[in-house]
Structure 1
Amino acid sequence: MNEACYAIFYFCLLMFISPFAGYYMARILDAKTLPTERFVFSFLGKQLEGSQNAKDYLKSLFLFHILGGGFLFSILLFQNYLPLNPLQVKGLHWDLALNTAVSFITNTNWQAYSGESQLSYFSQMLGLTPQNFLSAGVGISVLAFVSRAVSSSQKKEFGNFWRDLYRSIFYILLPLSFLLAVLLMSQGVVQTFSPYASGVGFEGANVTIPLGPAASQIAIKQIGTNGGGFFGVNSAHPFENPTPLSNFLELFSILFLPAACVFLYGKIAGSFRHAWVIFFVMLSFLLLGWFVVYQSELTSSSVWEGKETRFNLTESSLWLSATSAASNGSVNSMHDSYSPLAGGVALFQIMLGEVIFGGVGAGMYGMFLFLILTVFLSGLMTGRTPEYSGKKIESYDIQWTLIGILAPTVCILIGSAITVLLDTGYSAKGPHALSQILYAFSSASGNNGSAFGGFTADTKWANLSLSICMLVGRFSTITSVILVASHLGGKITAEDGSGSFRTDTVLFGGLVFGILLIVAGLSFFPVIALGPVLEQILMNQGKLF
């Protein structure tokens, strides 16, 4: 398959399968009862019964994350006392353990460690992997709450967090991950509890060959848009991604559920046409970004630097575009080695708020805030009362919408500014150093998890500051969308009239596209000009950093 056919097949398959998957997810999440639920819920208490309002839903969600984060932090801190530790690795330092725990409960999977040399099998399998399921399940659950609220009229309760989470994991994420893990194992991805193997390298030195239960974690890292690799170099490692077929399966998994979540929202909210408009807005950003990345690399003199020769340029550039659009964070090539323009595209896609498909559930509920903002600004421009799904948009809704959109932006800019002033001595200088720092704080605040290689991640400042950004990026958005959606759900749904502003048209899609560019442009274009843009100009003049 040549490179053009590869890309066409990839996007056509995504457009064909996503609506069916979204429809299935909506049916699962809105079913009255499902097999095994009554049996399981009988052991877990009455909190699983009935529906919750926004306040109770958020209470359950925050309690769940506090308990899960504390449990994972303890495992990482004391892994040297736990079983399945063939290398006898020590427990992580407290700040690195905290950063890693925060990273995985927020679906960021930022890795300031190297998995095969610093984590035990126990930490990988029973610490990190469950959080991959849980954090992705939370994203789906929040989106289900928002979707129900948008389609409701004069209601205050829109689902139960614990029931939504259970259904998301056991009826959606677990079956898909099991299937993908089996397919990956068939391609040679390792899945074993055997100790690391030893051998002799080409130069005669003794080498250690890392093994482990990798396939099970890789499957959910891609399906759940987590991105945390079992090995330090992620999906560039031949034990994580050995063949062209494994590469396609993992690459397709990055966008599959995020795209399906658009149609999950459309099904529950009652408008598949609206979902298609949103889908094509996201797809347009992705295609434009990938085209720029591909063309920039095609004309670069160092086109193969940092890339696996096992994969062609389409496979590498498409992975970079997909992973930075979907808040996945996995890599099959090193983002730091791309041309400044290509790296700038990846950076800009994260800065948009991870709404170009975004994380599982998270991309669509993040886009929900931009839909509200688009309707509001359109109403101001035309003199109409702004309405979304028949609900009037009021000051309360806009205030929380702006908090959800701007809180991660503040973290990116302030965190980057302080880090530049600290002069912590990163490997790069000039505009490339700024790009590395910007990318790190954008990745953390956008819950992406990928990084430019020159950023020194495992320092106390980086571990703590990025942890704060991850928490703000995740929970400011979740809190905002739940409060806005709940407020809308409590209002009377007005009938569509001749003066109603339709949200299922090409015009509305164009407005959403424009609002995304304007918000990101006003926030980030000046600092991007000092980083990737300036570096590209200087590189064209023969000056490298």
Structure 2
Amino acid sequence: MTTMAWISVALLLLIACLLARPTGHYIAHAFSNERTGLDRWFGPLENLIYRLCGIRQENQSWKQYAMSVVLSNTLMILIVYTIFRIQGMLPLNPSGVASMEPSLAFNTAISFMTNTNLQHYSGETGLSYLSQMIGIVFMMFVAPASLLSVAIAFIRGLAGKPLGNFFVDLVRGITRILLPIAFVAALVFVALGVPQTLEPTAVVKTVEGATQEIARGPVGSFLAIKELGNNGGGFFGVNSAHPFENPGAISNMLQMLLMLLLPTSLPFTYGIMVGNKKQGRVLFVSMAMMFLLFLGISIASEQAGNPALHALGVNQMQGSMEGKEVRFGLAQSAMYSVVTTASETGAVNNMHDTLTPLGGLITIANMMLNTVFGGVGAGFLNVLMYAMIAVFLSGLMVGRTPEFLGKKIEGREMKLIAVTMLIHPFLILIPTAIALFTNADTISNAGFHGLTQVMYEYTSSAANNGSGFEGLGDATSFWNLTTGIVMYLGRFCSVITMLAVAGSLAAKKPVPETSGTFRTDNALFAGVFLVAVLIVGALTFFPALVLGPIAEQLTLLS
């Protein structure tokens, strides 16, 4: 690994850390129920939206909040599904893209509305410009704003405050956070060479005299919210490995910064809103430690390459560069893979199917844990879930009723948390077993790697990530329907259960802190939290990982 590669990795991490705290403070003010200076700038537009949509700015119960999230998102899925089904007859389709078949439209509509952005079609040939802008980009704003709103409501519940109103939070998430940042980022991407046009596919003559079609479109606006909202997907089939979607080193770094911006800032938002900034910093440092560990393993594994090829005399660099974009090299490819799965974005600048077994293991582990920062809102909900598990386990060990932020964690909350924890492995492991048994012919690799391909597909769907181990024959009705169902359940089941936890805690009276209260803002709690994540979370999936990437790595070493 060259000196410049080390500098680029260190620079990205430094900038991400410097941006996290001020962004977290801004988000806390943006969602404050008290009047702030932001109301002067955004208030007129938001009030207009409230009037046009008939939104009443009144607090909701957890059941009302949850129903608002699920029903509004489901309605938008149906609307966008309809657009995909008739896009061939709609305007802004200069390339004449045909309408989507039913199962693919079903999968794509759910995929983008659940913040997953799993694509079973090639980006530049599957959708018209209208579908890209009205369907995809629209959902890229609404989907992350929805889960960001849920995370904010959950934090309010922990703080003993009313959960708020989903539609008010949704509008604020778009107008105050996503739209301004995405607008500026889109201008920067266009300045760096990313296309932003409604012109049809360009037809040119090559130097040999042949005819070549060059896809283009409104890529800059797509790319900005794709990364900022942890959406993922790609305007082009090869995603951020395409020079139009990722022109160079600066755009590559900017994309990773945008992916990390909101997930890394939410711990600081949490600290401000619950009145315990130190606890927010403890959670941030804990997640950062896991992120750095996974990043180090991934980069080291990709640098080491394939030991089986080394034994045959293949150059280490040649053996490692399969599936990588030569403009970025090994370090930036490995880092992008870790960032995109840690933030649950799903964008890729290399093919994850060609990562070394350990490199592939890290990407799957990020999605299985979904706490190494995680996506906008959803990841931090999981972080708080594991924090409460850590408090509960600590309370059991010392014989005290667990307390978190002055609220007792009792049977009702732990049952809901247990259900939430079981949903994730259920949605990954059972569909994986069914697919291996019934659709073995769609798996392009035999043995351990083939199992990893299938497990990655459903892990990516359940975690609402959207990246994939390419090579899997997933453009069929079976994969479209099963992953669509997994994405939908993976998104909304946890929303309902965690909002129920928030509602339960919000209704409890605070318990005075005593000398026996387990502190949750020190290094001891950070250690217990990390142990809870690794033992309760990682061991759930360990047998499946042994049969997949770990067995493949051991085979290469033998």
Query: Whole-Å Cα distance in 2 between the matches of residues 310 and 100 of structure 1?
Result: 30
Amino acid in the other structure paired with 1:38: N
Q: Which digits, 9 at most, give the CA deviation of each residue in 1:286-308, with x for residues without a partner?
A: 11111111111111141111111
Please state if 1:43 is matched with 2:52: yes
Q: 1:419 to 1:203 in 2, by over 3 A?
A: farther
Q: Does 1:467 align with 2:484?
A: yes
Alpha-carbon distance between aligned partners in 2 of 1:126 and 1:265, rounded to the nearest angstrom: 33
Measure how far apart 1:423 and its partner are. 3.6
Q: Is contact 2:454–2:472 with CA below 8 Å preserved after alignment? A: yes
Choose from 517, 538, 541 the match for 1:521: 538
Identify the residue that residue 245 of structure 2 maps to in structure 1.
Answer: 240
SS of the residue aligned with 1:199? strand
Which of residues 419, 428, 431 in structure 2 aligns to 1:403? Answer: 419
What is residue 530 of structure 1 aligned with on the other side? 547
2:235 pairs, out of 208, 230, 254, with 230
What is the CA–CA distance in structure 2 between the aligned matches of 1:202 and 1:291, rounded to whole Å? 44
Return the offset for 1:243. 1.3
* Stretch of structure 1 that moved more, 492-501 or 192-201: 192-201
Return 5+ residue gaps in structure 1 as ranges. none
2:350 maps to 333
For the structure 1 residues 465 and 202, does the alpha-carbon distance in structure 2 shift closer, same or farther, using more than 3 Å as the test?
farther
Q: Which amino acid aligns with 1:408?
A: H
Distance 1:149 1:474 in 2: 20
Q: Aligned to 2:436, what secondary structure does the other structure show?
A: helix
Structure 1 residue 203, shift from structure 2 partner:
5.7
Q: 1:384 maps to what in 2?
A: 400
Per-residue CA distance 1:337-389 (angstroms, 9 max, x = gap): 1111110111111111x221111111111211111111111111121111111
Verify: 1:179 aligned to 2:181, yes or no. no
Q: What amino acid is the match of 1:11?
A: L
Amino acid at match of 2:141: F
On the 8 A contact 1:408/1:469 being kept in 2, the answer is no
Offset of 1:31 from its aligned partner? 4.0
1:489 aligns with 2:502: no
User: Residue in 1 aligned with 2:308?
Assistant: none
Query: How far did residue 28 of structure 1 move?
Result: 1.0
One-letter code aligned to 1:256: L
For 1:3, give the aligned amino acid.
Answer: A
Equivalences for 1:123-522 in 2 at 5 Å?
Answer: 123-152=131-160, 157-201=162-206, 204-300=209-305, 301=316, 302-352=319-369, 354-425=370-441, 426-522=443-539
Q: Paired residue for 1:2, among 1, 4, 24? A: 4
Q: CA deviation at 1:201?
A: 4.1
CA offsets per residue over residues 383-438 of structure 1, 9 Å max, x none? Answer: 11111111111111011111112202101010101111114311110000000001
Deviation at 1:15, TM superposition (A): 1.4
Query: 2 CA distance for matches of 1:396 and 1:204?
Result: 71
- Normalised to the residue count of structure 1, the TM-score between the two structures is 0.96
Distance of aligned partners of 1:524 and 1:38 in 2 relative to their CA distance in 1, 3 Å threshold: same
CA distance in 2, matches of 1:203, 1:523: 56
Name the residue aligned to 2:310.
none
Residues 1:113 and 2:121 are matched in the alignment: yes
Asked whether the equivalents of residues 411 and 445 of structure 1 are also in contact (C-alpha less than 8 Å), the reply is yes
Q: Confirm or deny: 8 A CA contact 1:277 1:506 kept in the other structure.
A: yes
Q: Supply the distance in 2 between the matched residues of 1:454 and 1:220 (Cα, whole angstroms).
A: 27
Per-residue CA distance 1:118-164 (angstroms, 9 max, x = gap): 11011001110010000010111011101111111xx6x32000100
Distance in 2 between residues matched to 1:277 and 1:457, nearest whole Å: 41
Are the equivalent residues in 2 in contact too, given 1:375–1:387 (CA < 8 A)?
yes
Distance 1:360 1:373 in 2: 21
The separation in 2 between residues aligned to 1:496 and 1:4, in whole angstroms, is 46
Residue in 1 aligned with 2:91?
Answer: 83
2:26 is equivalent to residue 17 of structure 1? no
CA distance in 2, matches of 1:267, 1:103: 33
Residue type matched to 1:391 in 2? K
Give distance in 2, aligned partners of 1:42 and 1:116. Answer: 38
| RMSD value, Cα | 1.3
How many Å apart are 1:42 and its aligned residue? 2.1
Which one is further off, 427-436 or 401-410?
A: 401-410
2:204 aligned counterpart, secondary structure: strand
Task: Decide whether the 8 Å contact of 2:401 with 2:410 is kept in 1.
Answer: no
SS in 1 for 2:440: coil
**2-structure distance, mates of 1:190, 1:316:** 23
What is the CA–CA distance in structure 1 between the aligned matches of 2:134 and 2:398, rounded to whole Å? 55
Give the distance between the partners of 1:165 and 1:192, measured in 2 at CA: 29
Output one character per residue of 1:215-260: Cα deviation in whole Å (capped at 9) or x when no partner: 1011001000000111111100000000111111011111111111
Q: CA deviation at 1:32?
A: 3.4
Q: Residues 366 and 477 of structure 1 are in contact (CA less than 8 Å); yes or no, is this contact kept in structure 2?
A: no
Cα deviation code 1:275-323 (max 9, x no counterpart): 1111111111111111111111111141111111111322111100111
Residue type at the aligned position of 1:344: L
> Could you tell me whether the CA contact under 8 Å between 2:117 and 2:232 is conserved in 1?
yes
Contact kept, 8 Å, 2:321 with 2:329, in 1: the verdict is no
Letter in 1 for 2:389: L
Is contact 1:142–1:361 with CA below 8 Å preserved after alignment?
yes
Native 8 Å contact 1:408 1:473 kept in 2: yes
1:151-201 CA distance string (max 9 Å, x none): 11xx6x320001000000001000000010000001000100111111234
SS of match in other structure, 1:226: coil
Cα–Cα, structure 1 residues 314 and 190, in superposed 2: closer, same or farther, change >3 Å? same
Displacement of 1:204: 4.8
Query: % of aligned pairs identical?
Result: 39
One-letter code of the match for 1:480?
A: T
- Deviation for aligned residue 1:540: 2.4
Larger displacement relative to structure 2 (126-135 or 298-307): 298-307
Query: 1:206 Cα deviation (Å)?
Result: 2.1
State the distance in 2 between where 1:200 and 1:495 align: 76
Farther off after superposition, 422-431 or 291-300: 422-431
Q: Is the 8 Å Cα contact of residues 408 and 472 (structure 1) preserved in structure 2?
A: no
- Counterparts of 2:132 and 2:499, CA distance in 1: 32
Matches within 5 A, 1:94-109: 94-109=102-117
SS at match of 2:52: coil
Task: Mark the CA change 1:462 to 1:509 in structure 2 (over 3 Å): closer, same or farther.
Answer: same
Length, aligned pairs only: 536
Q: Which has the larger displacement, 99-108 or 262-271?
A: 262-271
Shift of 1:13: 1.4
Please give the secondary structure, in 1, of the residue aligned with 2:197: coil
